[in-house]
């Protein structure tokens, strides 16, 4: 964790996906990112970051099981937000079928 300004905290954490990033976990990620005082972004394979508050952007990553997603947060509660999002990604369940 590092501070980028007076009260601005920046946190990064890598999470290996337990399952493909389909609609249900994408919605969970969006809710977790929206529920705290922080801005959260996700990226896969070094591609551009997407806003974790947008379910369409999260699903648009096209991330699949086994890929590593970088979760980056900024703000007063960045550590909490990043930990919550990373936990969802690590524990997402596959679509039954």
| 66 assigned to some structural domain | yes
pLDDT band at 97 (very low <50, low <70, confident <90, very high): low
Q: Is residue 65 part of a domain?
A: yes
Domain count, the chain: 1
Q: Is residue 96 part of a domain?
A: no
Q: Is residue 97 part of a domain?
A: no
**Residues, the chain, total?**
97
Query: What's the domain range around 18?
Result: 2-91
pLDDT of the residue at 2: 43
Q: Specify the pTM.
A: 0.87
Taking residues 53-73, what's their average pLDDT? 96
In a domain, 24, yes or no: yes
Q: What is the 3-state secondary structure (H, E, C) of 17-78?
A: CCCCCCHHHHHHHHHHHHCCCCEEEEEECCCCCEECCCHHHHHHCCCCCCCEEEEEEECCCH
CATH of the domain at 84: 3.30.1340.10
């Amino acid at each position: 964790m590092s501070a980028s300004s007076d009260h601005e905290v920046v946190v990064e954490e890598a999470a290996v996906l337990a399952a493909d990033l389909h609609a249900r976990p994408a919605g969970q990620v969006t809710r977790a990112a929206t529920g705290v005082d922080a801005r959260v972004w996700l990226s896969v394979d070094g591609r551009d970051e997407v806003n974790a508050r947008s379910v369409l952007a999260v699903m648009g990553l096209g991330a699949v099981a086994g890929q590593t997603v970088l979760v980056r947060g900024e703000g007063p509660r960045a550590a909490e937000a990043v930990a919550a999002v990373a936990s969802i990604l690590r524990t997402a369940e596959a679509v039954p079928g």
